Structure 1
Amino acid sequence: MTVPVRIDGVGVIIPVRNEELLLPRCLTALAVAIAAVRAAPALDRPRVQVVIVLDRCTDASASVAADWPKYLPIVSTAAAVGAARRAGAARLTAGLAGASLRHLWLATTDADSAVPPNWLTTQLTFARNGSELVLGTVVPDTELSFEQRQRWMLRHRVGEGHPYVHGANLGVRADRYVDAGGFACVDTDEDVRLVAALRAVPVVEARTALMPVLTSGRLTGRAPAGFAGFLQAQTTDARVPLR
């Protein structure tokens, strides 16, 4: 049986590695999702903090982040998405313990993605009703060709209770995140590793298709075996398993 939980704060983590072209789309979409949270009645309106983790960027991503002064940019030199997400979570949970962590919700997305307007409000509904982990879905944008996109959609049917794990669409209660040891400092599959660790805790999870995140359909990505690599393999090998 799940127990209702009060959520006083939301922390959003965005790892960035040379995303000057797509980061504006990401931050604009996130602003809409945050506005939806702030439109709630005062008693149901948690504070929202956003940490942009600039992970060894060599382009103008830092300048883009500076255009959003309400978001906090920090710098990582790890060149690993897991380390970047971990650094963002560490900043958001610094100095917190016990009940403070229990009432904080962490949400992660990617700089090449665009969250829907209900991204945070949906996660908060699940969290307040006792979910400690929320796993959402993703949809590739039109950078993926029409034929490739159609194939992806045919093989990637999603619904409530879906089996997928995407760092671009994941939320977790901060105390459970800490219990699981946080994101591993790796350059790929940090989301899958975290979810495995959370399930070992264990946690109450919700797997939902109610808040799909639009993500880049490019076939050459930043993480060695990330979503772009999966898309590339899928367009050439019908035997590739669903991620």
Structure 2
Amino acid sequence: MIAVVVPAHNEEEHIAQCLRSLTVAALCPTLATEPVIVIVVLDDCSDGTARIARGFARVRTVQSRARNVGAARAIGAQAALAAGARWLAFTDADSEVAPDWISQQLGLQADAVCGTVQVRDWGAHGDEVRASFQSFYQDCDGHRHIHGANLGITADAYHLSGGFLPLATGEDVALVHRLLERGLSIAWTAAARVTTSSRKHFRAPGGFGATLMQLSGALVTSSAS
């Protein structure tokens, strides 16, 4: 069985799009009859996220009060392992996965898979930030980017790594570094596609949204100097 974990803190604006994309990916013909479950970790939600998530047949929800993405991913991973998952895939509530996302991860036959992300709409930041981002971001096989929005790992490798730490940001990077320290195989791929938002009201203080805001700030500083 395969499990997809989605941490969510007040994500009623985006969660339906995310879960629709996961529903399609779970039905990819190359997965044959292997079941896929989606675990949404409701991390201290006070909006309609829970109601929306529970409207999807393939989705299970678990609760967290941590307001901490590392803790939320860890709670979701433990629920997945308890359900018998052999493969854990992770994405974010403001992201959408490709129809073959899960099958692409599995097809690489690695202990873990680190995929890239592409931005859905640059309107929140503008063309200059997009150009700056694209000047250094490697959306190709062999990259070295790590995103919680596009990550997969075997159950055995997750156990060996010690799992996600309760970090407010960088929990994905810390996990992958421990995998590397243990000599486990990692596929650095652009084939498993994920599209994410460029929102300015991001959740993780040092995550992808923060990176885009830093680029925007750097451009403003450069223009003023």
Distance 1:134 1:20, change over 3 A: same
Aligned residue in 1 for 2:176 = 195
Aligned residue in 2 for 1:172 = 153
Q: CA deviation at 1:140?
A: 1.6
**Maintained 8 Å contact 1:220/1:229:** no
Distance 1:90 1:21, change over 3 A: same
The amino acid of 2:112's aligned partner reads: L
Tell me the secondary structure at the aligned position of residue 171 of structure 1. Answer: strand
Tell me the secondary structure at the aligned position of residue 217 of structure 2. Answer: coil
Aligned residue in 1 for 2:10 = 18
2:102 to 106, 116, 120: 120
**Alignment of 1:140 onto 2:119:** yes
User: What 5-or-longer segments of structure 2 have no aligned partner?
Assistant: 220-225
Task: Using structure 1 for the length normalisation, give the TM-score.
Answer: 0.85
Tell me the secondary structure at the aligned position of residue 51 of structure 1. Answer: strand
Alignment of 1:77-88 (within 5 A): 77-88=65-76
**Alignment of 1:208 onto 2:189:** yes
Tell me the secondary structure at the aligned position of residue 217 of structure 1. Answer: coil
Length, aligned pairs only: 217
**Alignment of 1:40 onto 2:22:** no
1:63 to 44, 51, 67: 51
2:89 to 95, 104, 107: 107
Q: CA deviation at 1:117?
A: 1.0
Matches of 2:106 and 2:189, distance apart in 1? 13
Matches of 2:120 and 2:63, distance apart in 1? 28
Aligned residue in 1 for 2:223 = none
Task: Using structure 2 for the length normalisation, give the TM-score.
Answer: 0.91
Tell me the secondary structure at the aligned position of residue 159 of structure 2. Answer: helix
User: What 5-or-longer segments of structure 1 have no aligned partner?
Assistant: 1-8, 239-243
The amino acid of 1:115's aligned partner reads: V
Q: CA deviation at 1:41?
A: 7.2
Aligned residue in 1 for 2:213 = 232
Aligned residue in 1 for 2:60 = 72
The amino acid of 2:96's aligned partner reads: A
**Alignment of 1:183 onto 2:175:** no
Deviations 1:126-161 (A, max 9, x none): 12xxx1010000112214444122332232132111
Deviations 1:46-90 (A, max 9, x none): 221111100001111011111113210111011100000000110
Alpha carbon RMSD of aligned pairs, Å? Answer: 1.6
